[in-house]
Amino acid sequence: MRCNAARTIISSHGHPWYPQPCPRSDPAFTVSHLKNGSPATVSRAGVLFLNEADVGWQPYVQSWVDELNQVQDHIDTKETAWLEALVNQYIPPTIDNIRKNKWKHITPLMDFAMVSTLCSILEGLLTKKNCPPGSDKDVYEAYFQYAAVWAFGGCFGADKANDFRKMFSEWWRAEWGKTSFKFPDEGLVFDYYVELKSDGSGKVEGKHWKERVPSYTHATGEGASFSDIVVPTMDTTRLSFLINMLMPRQKPVMLVGAAGSAKTTIFQDNLSQLPDELMFFAISFNSFTNAGSLQPILEQPLEKKTGTMFAPPGTKKLIYFIDDVNMPSPDKYGTQSAIALLRQQIDYGGFYDLKKLTMKEIRGVQYLGAMNPTAGSFFIIDRMQRHFATFATLFPENDVLYTIYYKILAGHFASGSFADSINKVVGDKNQLANKIIGAALMLHKLVADAFLPTAVKFHYAWNLRELSRITQGMLMSSPDNYHEPFTIIRLWLHESYRVYGDRLTDEQDAGRFNEMVLRCSKNFFEDENQDDLHQKPLAFTKFAKWSPGMDADEELPYFQVADGKKLSLILTKKLEEYNESNARMDLVLFEQARQALLPCAS
């Protein structure tokens, strides 16, 4: 857009624009829309409109193929001709079919963004190891199919109405089932990776990702934290493969999924294993984050190299991990200034010094991002989104959830000196852990289906975090204080009431929840006396075993208080001690108040 009257531009924030060098004295902008333009601006602007289809993605792909030919010595003219043919064979029909069927990605993506992701994945796959000199076209086509599946379908999600990822998988098999490479029929095309056969034939085959899932080792001892526990699954394994392949190639990666879908966990697990030459800096966005508050945070891990150039310390490379990318509140013009600042750094290699008003050149940095499409602004501007290779993190299936939490709980029982009745194994399953996790998953599903969020009960949102909190409470059990399965089951009941029951707002919901707990208890713990199992008080805490002779830093056991009178006496005594040295609080510690204090004091 070229404007011959600069005074009509009311605010530079009104238009998401790129300043462009212009030999004339009047300003020239590249804007994505004129939604915020005043009538005077629109009437005086000379607009050259280019949509995404005018230039298209073909010039980018051609440039990428030419560059690949120069940097990869095993890719010659013949291989580049194969790649160009594969591009023309696969990309246009795939994009047309997505648009025709109106399949929706979990966040809006431009065609160019998907094609750019395809090229980045191919860069990581078409190495000399995977494609030795002399490899035939079938090898390149197999890797091309794998890259295309994730570039175009990796951001598809699923909801109660539609499973777009499954639809894409079925279409891919039907459309390309007669090509030289065919994904195995079981499951989805996303469940397989491509690898050279070990027989030395130079052929490739599709192998299931479950064959590459690492084994889980339960961490114990000093320094072990529940937040550091990561149970490898097929989803985490294949996403980690893509992340670790794209990061060294300076390609920003974004994971998009609902709360509790392990976006942050996957990134943190990979970032914790970075080599020495890489470092990371985590930033969590919120609704108050703006460019003014973000820029000093971005500058914290950087050091000055020359006059206006800044970079990470020494020769290291820096990875910014931005959590909740879409959380900043838009201003009245719809601009999220924090995201605009990040985009300026990515597009132009830096941002302006707020005091000197000179450009700061930022080198040696790249970005990873996580985003919840049901929160904040729901999505980010396409000019920022196009830079990222975007993949969806879906809520795990029930069998995957069982595997995750069973391994954690069974690992906890096996790592300690728990009684044989707690560690009883039938086949290859710890029977107690098997029953508790089964009951926990059943209860979670009942709660999630029955207690839906409303305008008044907006906090009725249930995800993996609830299951994690219950499991975290279970891991506070110790062999010194838990000698039989009965006490462990009581602990699960207590944690369930604290995690779910404490968030319910009326007696009717609380009554329904009690019925759900009883139903799960009878289904999975039929051998136990149900009256004894649910006997009140159902109270577990740490302070019950505190005594005056104990060290203040000593770790107290998390154990049940079976006597309601004893619990009342302990809390009353603690209240008296508090009142002796603080402003007096005359509290009546009735049963519900005592129950509410337990998680606060633990």
- The runs of H, that is alpha helices, within 47-176 are 52-55, 58-71, 77-101, 111-125, 137-153, 164-175
φ, ψ of residue 486 to 5 degrees: the values are -55, -45
The enclosing H or E element of 367 equals: strand 365-371
pLDDT at 116: 96
pLDDT at 222: 63
Positive or negative CA dihedral for 290, 293, 297, 302? Answer: positive
Which among 113, 115, 121, 173 is positioned nearest to 146, based on CA atoms?
Answer: 121
Q: Which residues of 96-115 are buried (b: 16+ CB within 10 A; e: fewer)?
A: ebbeeeebebbbbbebebbb
How many Cβ atoms from other residues are within 10 Å of residue 48's Cβ? 7
pLDDT in tens, 295-312: 999 999 999 998 899 999
pLDDT at 279: 95
pLDDT at 223: 61
The enclosing H or E element of 18 equals: strand 17-19
Q: Which residues of 6-40 are buried (b: 16+ CB within 10 A; e: fewer)?
A: eebbeeeebbbbeeeeeeeeebbbebeeeebbeee
Whether 176 contacts 133, CB under 8 Å: no
Residues of the chain falling short of pLDDT 50: 5-14, 17-22, 24-25, 550, 552
Whether 489 contacts 528, CB under 8 Å: yes
pLDDT at 6: 46
φ, ψ of residue 321 to 5 degrees: the values are -105, 115
Which among 576, 579, 546 is positioned nearest to 561, based on CA atoms?
Answer: 546
* Cα(278)–Cα(122) distance, integer angstroms: 23
DSSP 248: G
Whether 163 contacts 186, CB under 8 Å: no
Which among 16, 169, 194, 111 is positioned nearest to 390, based on CA atoms?
Answer: 111
φ, ψ of residue 483 to 5 degrees: the values are -110, -5
- 427: alpha, beta or left? (left if phi > 0; alpha if psi -120 to 50): left
Point out which residues pair with 29 in neighbouring strands: 19
The tokens of 463 are what?
Answer: 């995800």
- The contacts of residue 27 (CB under 8 Å, 6+ apart) are 2, 3, 6, 9, 19
Whether 369 contacts 388, CB under 8 Å: yes
What angle, rounded to 10 degrees, do the helices at 77-101 and 58-71 form?
A: 150
Positive or negative CA dihedral for 466, 471, 475, 477? Answer: positive
Q: HSE (CB half, 13 Å, CA atoms) of 277?
A: 4
Which among 193, 186, 181 is positioned nearest to 242, based on CA atoms?
Answer: 193
| Domain at 57-212, CATH class | mainly alpha
Which among 16, 50, 20, 6 is positioned nearest to 36, based on CA atoms?
Answer: 16
The enclosing H or E element of 383 equals: helix 382-385
pLDDT at 13: 45
Positive or negative CA dihedral for 154, 155, 161, 167? Answer: negative
* Cα(484)–Cα(474) distance, integer angstroms: 14
pLDDT at 8: 43
* Cα(339)–Cα(381) distance, integer angstroms: 8
* Cα(336)–Cα(327) distance, integer angstroms: 9
The tokens of 144 are what?
Answer: 């091309």
* Cα(353)–Cα(295) distance, integer angstroms: 9
Whether 372 contacts 137, CB under 8 Å: no
Positive or negative CA dihedral for 164, 170, 176, 180? Answer: positive
Within the chain, which residue ranges are assigned CATH 3.40.50.300?
242-392
Within the chain, which residue ranges are assigned CATH 1.20.920.30?
398-535
- 95: alpha, beta or left? (left if phi > 0; alpha if psi -120 to 50): alpha
* Cα(575)–Cα(58) distance, integer angstroms: 73
The tokens of 62 are what?
Answer: 């051609």
Question: Regarding the domain delimited by 398-535, which CATH topology (the fold level of the hierarchy) does it fall under?
Answer: Histone Acetyltransferase; Chain A (1.20.920)
Amino acid at 359: M
* Cα(428)–Cα(237) distance, integer angstroms: 24
Amino acid at 67: E
Q: CATH number for the 242-392 domain, one of 3.30.1600.10, 3.40.50.300, 3.30.1330.10, 3.40.228.10? A: 3.40.50.300
